[in-house]
Structure 1
Amino acid sequence: MDTLFQIAQRGDVEELLQLLAKNPILLHQVPLISAQNPLHFASVAGHLDFAKKILELMPEFARQLNAEGYSPMHLASANGYIDIVREIIRVDANICRLGGREGITPLHLAVLGGWVDVISEMLANCEGCIEDVTVHKETVLHLAVRNFQLESLQILLDWTSQMNKEEILNRKDEHGNTILHLAIWKKQRQVVEMLLRNSSRILEVNAINKSGLTALDLLLIFPSEAGDREIQEVLQYAGALKSQDITPHNTSCSRTHDAPVINNRAKDLIEYFRFHDGRDSPSDVRSTLLVIAVLVVTATYQVGNSPPGDVWQDDDEGHLAGTSIMATKDLVSYILLVTCNSIGFNVSLYMIYTLTRKFPLQTELQVCVFALYMTFNVAVTVTSPKSTRLFTNVFTSVLPTAVPLACGLLRKFRVFERLGGILGKFTRKLRCEEE
């Protein structure tokens, strides 16, 4: 079988025929042994004659997905091999609609690659392929806008206009974004003008996504950049509005019901930037959590090393040099400060340890974390008055062991979620009473 695949990579038709002469059923054995077939290799390498011969002998190979979830048509489309695409279409034009990994079709890959001739060929032979969406409900138009494929987008817009399929321009992805939302998000003025020029009567310029935002809202919620004003003028000329100008608002407060009176714009922004499972990748979330943990470690370490009010510079009857001035003046407040600051520091170290557990150089990283932990504890202990040093030592030593258990219990009983809900209701009630 390896010999067959090597021949496919070279695209040698003569060697293929010689191999089949020795073993006529060799091609029929391929699906039993491998998820890939010779047509996959030929489609990647662009060997047209070899692909034609395989399609002649085993046309069913055209629909087989490899271990990565791609068919030969996917691979040929991604690489722009128009002649191989045509040969596969002759076998079965509906292969253009074959969903592979994450629902991606060959047309999707052709759009991502900007292969306009492949796009035109597929649309000419399989009109329905433009309707297909990915697992994230993205159409080919979404993919073209998201990946700055302007030439591909123009081909698609022209085709939808000619075939009276312009309703696809208003399709929404899993987050409720139309292609106009994406164009605004990417600050693509050329795309915005292209959409409004070609499809101004069909395009819904005031479509609202799942975060309650229109295209104009997306433009206005971020700091102004060069070209934003021009985009805003184009949108408003086309009749674009903010969501608050479209949706009627109830400004009255009911005292019998806890109806929240919240600024809709602020609420929409909070929802928009909130974590969404499925949209935000685990790697992005891990990176964000690491940044936050490092910032907290930095801030809490600074407080532990240099307590507020600084330290005494000399010995006296009531204090020793190097001890915290705050601890001498207000011991209760100092203990509260050390307790909360140590919790923040140790929880952040625990987060860093958890998020980097399987990283390379794990031993070296743990040594660094332990050294930082020891440095912090020594600094806090030394700056504490003698009367609190025992408490400080015990507390900071026990805390690292208690952190995982405490966090697990808090997470299990959803303590902070419930506290947040109570505070939210209390805040809304206060707002209603004020108004």
Structure 2
Amino acid sequence: MDTRLLEASQTGNTMVLHQLLVEKPLILHTPALSSSENPLHVASMAGHTDFVKEILRLKPEFAKQVNEDGFSPIHMASANGYLEILRELLTVDRRLCRIEGRNKWTPLHFAASRGRSDIIKEILVACPESLEDVTVQKESALLLVIRYSQFEAIDIVLRWIREKKRDDILNMRDEFGNSALHLATWRKHRQAKSFSQVVEWLIGFGNTTTGGTLIVNAVNKSGLTALDLLLIFPSEAGDREIDVLLRNAGAKRANDIFASPSSTLDYDTYQQNAEDRCKSEPEDDLLEYFKFQKGRDYPSDARNALLVMAVLMATATFQVGINPPSGVWQDTNLTGNGTTTPKHLAGASVMGSFSPVSYLLFVVFNSLGLSVSLYMLTILTNNLPMQLEFRFCVVALYFTYYTGVTSMAPEDFTKTVIIVLSAVLPPTFHPFIKLIKLSIKKI
């Protein structure tokens, strides 16, 4: 993004924006070509309503762009509580309410987690179906307001659910099988009085024993009901009140549900969860959790992880290349005495003198690892500033490795090692290949 355009976006200076448009009529087209962040992202983050209006008039498609960190302008406005900016963005397209960012978070999720009551109301008016949206962790807006203890927002969301008769949202579960009642009961230890009121609100919608829709005996993936959580994690205040509320609503412990098959719905739910836990091995769940998931993980996070791995691999392969197994000879012996002490030069590889083939295999695979890691570094740092300087450093690093490995090679295998090192060069080292070919001709 142009530096002056960035400064204008940060300060909300519309006069500078118009001056730039006169000087460069296509200046608003360049951000789409050079980066994923546009002036509307910056202005929405800074809260400049007038600047946002002007950008939307000139380039409304900016409102739908998500930057590399997974945020669109409406995500930023919702998270920061900029109501006027949110309204301006919704005039472009009301469907922006459901645009997904990092971890599949929508603007309503950000507003819910931060307790932005005005934003929540505005989004629910514009797009009530956004209450159905869930994050990668399967958390709805209702679960988020409870998780983050946003009591005013909890009241707003529950009232909206009641008015629109969307009682099914009350029983939505997160990835651990916890419902809104699970979370409200478990988190009561922080603000007992407030959470007892939340439990009362939730139970007020009805439950399975009274013909309503709230399942008070829902069993999570740990095999626990809301009453189990209350009893397992006791606190000094609020327990008795919540216990009375739950038991009056027909709440039971999971063991009691299991022992009473007559309660078919709860029993089947418990059994299904138990079967699912048996089928899935903990090791498999752990592996899946740490795998990169598109939509959940930032591309920038994946890039940073790859950079770290590439640096570690380059460091390890370079180090072992210039310090080969068994070390190097400290003296020169041009006569040798058979297999006990073969002839050698000072600085040559001991392993290479005894087993040239083993040394050659070592050089092949170690050089391949170094080349691939350096190639990864050049790709991952592409388009960053000071590219020429960085490429020079990479070439100098490989040349140092190249010189060290060839000097340690057995005398009869020097040319073979040079050919190997030339063969495993990354594509980005093409200019360097000419230098290597000249060195081969001189041998």
Query: More deviation in 125-134 or 214-223?
Result: 214-223
Q: Which of 213, 237, 242 is the matching residue for 2:253?
A: 242
Equivalent residue for 1:86? 87
Equivalent pair of 2:12/2:48 in contact (CA under 8 Å): yes
Q: TM-score, normalised by structure 2?
A: 0.56
Structure 1, gaps ≥5 residues long:
251-263, 283-357, 359-435
Q: Deviations over 1:65-97 (max 9, x none)?
A: 112100000000001100000011010001110
Query: More deviation in 77-86 or 229-238?
Result: 229-238
Report the Cα distance in structure 1 between the residues aligned to 2:239 and 2:103, rounded to whole angstroms: 34
Structure 2, gaps ≥5 residues long:
189-194, 262-270, 292-311, 313-443
Q: Deviations over 1:333-381 (max 9, x none)?
A: xxxxxxxxxxxxxxxxxxxxxxxxx9xxxxxxxxxxxxxxxxxxxxxxx
Equivalent residue for 2:68? 67
Equivalent pair of 2:228/2:254 in contact (CA under 8 Å): yes
Report the Cα distance in structure 2 between the residues aligned to 1:121 and 1:35, rounded to whole angstroms: 27
CA 1:51–1:144 in 2, change beyond 3 Å: closer, same or farther? same
Report the Cα distance in structure 2 between the residues aligned to 1:278 and 1:62, rounded to whole angstroms: 36
CA 1:240–1:278 in 2, change beyond 3 Å: closer, same or farther? farther
Q: TM-score, normalised by structure 1?
A: 0.57
- Write the letter of the residue equivalent to 1:88: L
Equivalent residue for 1:163? 164
Equivalent residue for 1:217? 228
Equivalent pair of 1:214/1:243 in contact (CA under 8 Å): yes
Pairwise CA distance, 1:248:
3.8
Report the Cα distance in structure 1 between the residues aligned to 2:290 and 2:243, rounded to whole angstroms: 31
Pairwise CA distance, 1:197:
2.5
Pairwise CA distance, 1:223:
4.2
Equivalent pair of 1:52/1:87 in contact (CA under 8 Å): yes
Structure 2 counterparts to residues 276-355 of structure 1, below 5 A: 277=286
Q: Which of 195, 199, 203 is the matching residue for 1:192?
A: 199
Equivalent pair of 1:78/1:113 in contact (CA under 8 Å): yes
Aligned residue for 1:155, secondary structure, equals helix
Report the Cα distance in structure 2 between the residues aligned to 1:212 and 1:249, rounded to whole angstroms: 15
Report the Cα distance in structure 2 between the residues aligned to 1:227 and 1:113, rounded to whole angstroms: 25
CA 1:281–1:152 in 2, change beyond 3 Å: closer, same or farther? farther
Report the Cα distance in structure 2 between the residues aligned to 1:248 and 1:5, rounded to whole angstroms: 65
- Write the letter of the residue equivalent to 2:214: L
- Alpha carbon RMSD of aligned pairs, Å? 2.5
Aligned residue for 1:26, secondary structure, equals coil
Aligned residue for 1:53, secondary structure, equals helix
Report the Cα distance in structure 2 between the residues aligned to 1:242 and 1:220, rounded to whole angstroms: 9
Report the Cα distance in structure 2 between the residues aligned to 1:113 and 1:208, rounded to whole angstroms: 28
Q: Deviations over 1:23-47 (max 9, x none)?
A: 1111111111111100011111110
Pairwise CA distance, 1:278:
8.5
Report the Cα distance in structure 1 between the residues aligned to 2:259 and 2:204, rounded to whole angstroms: 30
Equivalent pair of 1:65/1:71 in contact (CA under 8 Å): yes
Structure 2 counterparts to residues 23-422 of structure 1, below 5 A: 23-187=24-188, 188-200=195-207, 201-248=212-259, 277=286
Equivalent residue for 1:309? none
Equivalent residue for 1:422? none
Pairwise CA distance, 1:116:
1.0
Pairwise CA distance, 1:199:
4.8
Q: Deviations over 1:310-335 (max 9, x none)?
A: xxxxxxxxxxxxxxxxxxxxxxxxxx
- Write the letter of the residue equivalent to 1:27: L
Identity across aligned pairs (percent)?
49
Equivalent pair of 1:27/1:58 in contact (CA under 8 Å): yes
Report the Cα distance in structure 1 between the residues aligned to 2:161 and 2:65, rounded to whole angstroms: 30
- Write the letter of the residue equivalent to 2:185: I
Equivalent pair of 2:38/2:62 in contact (CA under 8 Å): yes
- Write the letter of the residue equivalent to 2:243: Q
Equivalent residue for 2:341? none
Equivalent pair of 2:97/2:123 in contact (CA under 8 Å): yes
Report the Cα distance in structure 2 between the residues aligned to 1:47 and 1:223, rounded to whole angstroms: 47
Pairwise CA distance, 1:132:
0.5
Report the Cα distance in structure 2 between the residues aligned to 1:98 and 1:14, rounded to whole angstroms: 31
Q: Where in structure 1 do 4 or more consecutive aligned residues deviate above 3 Å?
A: 274-282
Aligned residue for 2:230, secondary structure, equals helix
Aligned residue for 2:157, secondary structure, equals helix
Report the Cα distance in structure 1 between the residues aligned to 2:96 and 2:46, rounded to whole angstroms: 20
- Write the letter of the residue equivalent to 1:169: L
- Write the letter of the residue equivalent to 1:212: G
- Write the letter of the residue equivalent to 2:38: N
Pairwise CA distance, 1:230:
1.7
Equivalent pair of 1:166/1:199 in contact (CA under 8 Å): no
- Write the letter of the residue equivalent to 2:199: V
Equivalent pair of 2:114/2:148 in contact (CA under 8 Å): no
Pairwise CA distance, 1:184:
1.1
- Write the letter of the residue equivalent to 1:215: A
Equivalent pair of 1:157/1:198 in contact (CA under 8 Å): no
Report the Cα distance in structure 1 between the residues aligned to 2:13 and 2:124, rounded to whole angstroms: 31
CA 1:110–1:139 in 2, change beyond 3 Å: closer, same or farther? same
Aligned residue for 1:208, secondary structure, equals coil
Pairwise CA distance, 1:281:
8.9
Pairwise CA distance, 1:280:
8.6
Paired residues, number = 265
Report the Cα distance in structure 1 between the residues aligned to 2:42 and 2:64, rounded to whole angstroms: 14
Aligned residue for 1:205, secondary structure, equals coil
Pairwise CA distance, 1:177:
0.6
Aligned residue for 1:138, secondary structure, equals coil
Report the Cα distance in structure 2 between the residues aligned to 1:140 and 1:199, rounded to whole angstroms: 20
Aligned residue for 2:286, secondary structure, equals coil
Q: Deviations over 1:271-317 (max 9, x none)?
A: 9xx896399999xxxxxxxxxxxxxxxxxxxxxxxxxxxxxxxxxxx
Equivalent pair of 2:171/2:179 in contact (CA under 8 Å): yes
